[in-house]
């Protein structure tokens, strides 16, 4: 049993991810592929571009014809994107060309239309060019058979464009990991129920399910586990039939916090049993018979933060994705901030300001049970464990929240 500093706990999770293997693969349509992870590389089916491509609207010419300007040339044809000019461009000739069109044979530069004056067949070029200017050479983006998207890449719109460009209508992707979600505690009732004065609705199961979906997994929602060891044992064992088990609540030091005890009875190997962070200090990580689990604190903000910090990388590794470091940026602190030392803090915050001068400010919150603060936030401000105060205008790290 060990409580680790944040950096050690985070690296322990990263090392664990390296030994995980994906759960299988399947073929999906292009429009089903966004957010999925490639199970095989995408190869170029031909050279890209497949011909010397004009990067500008203008005229395809011989660069040597315009060493001295202004230069007079004769317009002998036109070529647009998708078309071709079948003749060889001779010295003293020019072919009008559109962006994306194939540069005709013989020409070795494209002069932008802004640098010309044209009167019928008579073209006056007003600036000199070097050979290859405004031309994208054949195969400069990729050669036929070359890997252009590597296995393990999460598919976004740019990857869809490339996959479509090479004619892959059904890319092979890894299957989504099944993630069991088990909230614990007698105080929890279903979201559709009317809670008594001392009960709360089970929001953690649904917030975790949403985080699992965003991270690329399939959530498996289990019934709420009561504060009863036998019932908890049965539900935890059911959860281990999935690829990953997430427990919410029951990992603190209270009399009825039974999760660690039951996991120990099931032969759990614990990697850590707490992390020196706020919120989320009681988070637990380990495995039972090679199936990973996280015991996340029951307070809503703690649950959300510890999922993003620790559970998300494991889920994504099970889904075949390459490890990705935490998405952080730097921003100026908007107001003076004071706290206690000893814990790395991830506090709900808002990122504001302009493109070149981002500013961050914490949201007033009432502790890790304040889900409304998390709902108003769009990031977490990171406070190092050795900082007691930070002045307005100082640069701080900000953890971006996936959306």
**101, 159: one domain:** no
Q: Point out the least confidently predicted range of 132-146, 245-259, 370-384.
A: 245-259
Q: What is the tens place of the pLDDT at every residue in 203-248? A: 999 999 999 999 999 999 999 998 889 999 999 999 999 999 999 9
Contact criterion met (CB below 8 Å) for 81 and 100:
yes
- Which CATH number covers residue 237? 3.40.980.10
Q: Describe the strand order of the beta sheet including 218-221 as a list of residue ranges.
A: 218-221, 178-183, 244-248, 291-296, 284-288, 269-272
Same domain assignment for residues 157 and 180: no
Q: How confident is the model at residue 199 (pLDDT cuts 50, 70, 90)?
A: confident
- Predicted confidence at residue 255, as pLDDT, reads 42
- Residues 342, 260 share a domain: no
| pLDDT value at 296 more than 90 | yes
Q: Does residue 256 carry a pLDDT above 80?
A: no
The reply to whether 94 and 68 lie within a common domain is: yes
Residue with tokens 């089903």: 32
Q: Does residue 102 lie within any of the structural domains?
A: yes
DSSP codes joined into one string, 129-191:
--TTTTEE-TTSSB-TT-EEE-TTPBP-HHHHHHHHHTT-SS-EEEPPPEEEEEEB-TTEE-T
- Indicate if 196 and 290 belong to the same structural domain: yes
How would you write 242-267 as a 3-class SS string?
Answer: CCEEEEECCCCCCCCCCHHHHHHHCC
Residues 170 and 199 in one domain: no
β-strand 344-353 against 379-383: which pairing, if any? Answer: antiparallel
Count of domains forming the chain: 4
Q: Considering the domain boundaries, does residue 153 fall inside one?
A: yes
**Calpha distance 123→295 (Å, rounded):** 74
Question: What pLDDT was estimated at residue 254?
Answer: 45
Task: Verify that 221 and 269 share a domain, yes or no.
Answer: yes
Quick one: pLDDT at residue 366? Answer: 82
- Of 271, 287, 318, the position where a domain reaches its end is 318
Query: Residue 389 maps to which CATH number?
Result: 2.40.340.10
Same domain, 149 and 129: no
Q: Is residue 323 part of a domain?
A: no
Residue 243 in any domain: the answer is yes
More confident residue, 250 or 332: 332
Q: By residue range, what is the domain housing residue 396?
A: 328-400
For residues 88-102, average pLDDT? 97
β pairing state of 244-248 and 178-183: parallel
Segment 384-389 mean pLDDT: 95
Check whether residue 190 and residue 63 sit in a common domain: no
- The verdict on residue 1 lying in a domain is no
Residue the block writes with tokens 């390296």: 18
Last residue of a domain, one of 154, 174, 194: 174
Query: Mean pLDDT for the chain?
Result: 94
Domain boundary among 106, 136, 166: 136
| Residue whose structure tokens are 């690329």 | 216
Nearest-10 Cα torsion for 217, 218, 221, 222: -80
Average pLDDT, integer, range 128-132: 96
The CATH number of the domain where 157 resides is what? Answer: 3.90.105.10
What is the pTM assigned to this prediction?
Answer: 0.88
Question: Please, are residues 177 and 315 in contact by the beta-carbon 8 Å criterion?
Answer: yes
Average pLDDT over residues 180-207: 89
Look at residue 301 in the predicted model and tell me its pLDDT: 92
Cis omega before residue 105 (within 30°)? no
pLDDT number for residue 253: 52
When pLDDT is cut at 50, 70 and 90, the band that residue 402 belongs to is confident
């Amino acid at each position: 049993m060990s409580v680790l500093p944040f950096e050690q706990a985070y690296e322990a999770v990263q090392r664990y991810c390296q030994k995980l293997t994906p759960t299988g693969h399947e073929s999906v349509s292009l429009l089903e592929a966004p957010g999925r992870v490639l199970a095989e590389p995408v190869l170029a089916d031909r050279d890209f571009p497949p011909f010397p491509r004009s990067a500008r609207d203008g005229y395809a010419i011989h660069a040597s014809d315009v060493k001295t300007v202004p230069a007079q040339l004769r317009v002998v044809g036109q070529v647009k994107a998708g078309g071709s000019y079948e003749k060889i461009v001779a010295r003293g000739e020019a072919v009008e060309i559109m962006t994306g069109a194939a540069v005709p044979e013989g020409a070795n530069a494209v002069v932008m239309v802004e640098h010309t004056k044209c009167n019928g067949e008579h073209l006056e070029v007003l600036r000199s060019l070097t050979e290859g200017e405004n031309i994208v050479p054949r195969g400069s983006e990729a050669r036929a058979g070359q890997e252009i998207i590597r296995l393990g890449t999460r598919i976004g719109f740019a990857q869809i464009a490339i996959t479509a460009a090479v004619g892959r209508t059904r890319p092979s992707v890894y299957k989504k990991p099944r993630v069991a979600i088990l909230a614990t505690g007698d105080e929890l009732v279903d979201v559709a129920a009317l809670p008594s004065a001392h009960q709360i609705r089970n929001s953690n199961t649904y917030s975790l399910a949403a985080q699992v979906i965003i991270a690329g997994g399939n959530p498996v929602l289990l019934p709420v586990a009561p504060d009863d060891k036998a019932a908890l044992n049965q539900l935890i064992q059911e959860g281990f039939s999935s690829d990953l088990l997430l427990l919410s609540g029951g990992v603190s030091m209270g009399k009825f916090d039974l999760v660690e005890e039951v996991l120990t009875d099931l032969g759990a190997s614990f990697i850590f049993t707490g992390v020196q962070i706020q919120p989320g200090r009681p988070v637990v990580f380990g495995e039972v018979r090679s199936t990973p689990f996280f015991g996340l604190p029951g307070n809503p903000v703690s649950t959300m933060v510890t999922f993003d910090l620790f559970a998300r990388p494991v889920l994504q590794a099970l889904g075949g994705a390459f490890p990705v470091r935490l998405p952080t940026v730097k921003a100026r602190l908007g107001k003076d901030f004071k706290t206690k030392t000893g814990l790395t803090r991830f506090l709900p915050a808002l990122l504001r300001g302009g493109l070149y001068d981002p500013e961050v400010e914490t949201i007033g919150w009432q502790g890790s049970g304040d889900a409304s603060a998390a709902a108003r936030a769009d990031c977490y401000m990171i406070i190092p464990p050795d900082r007691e105060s930070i002045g307005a205008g100082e640069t701080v790290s900000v953890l971006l929240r996936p959306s």
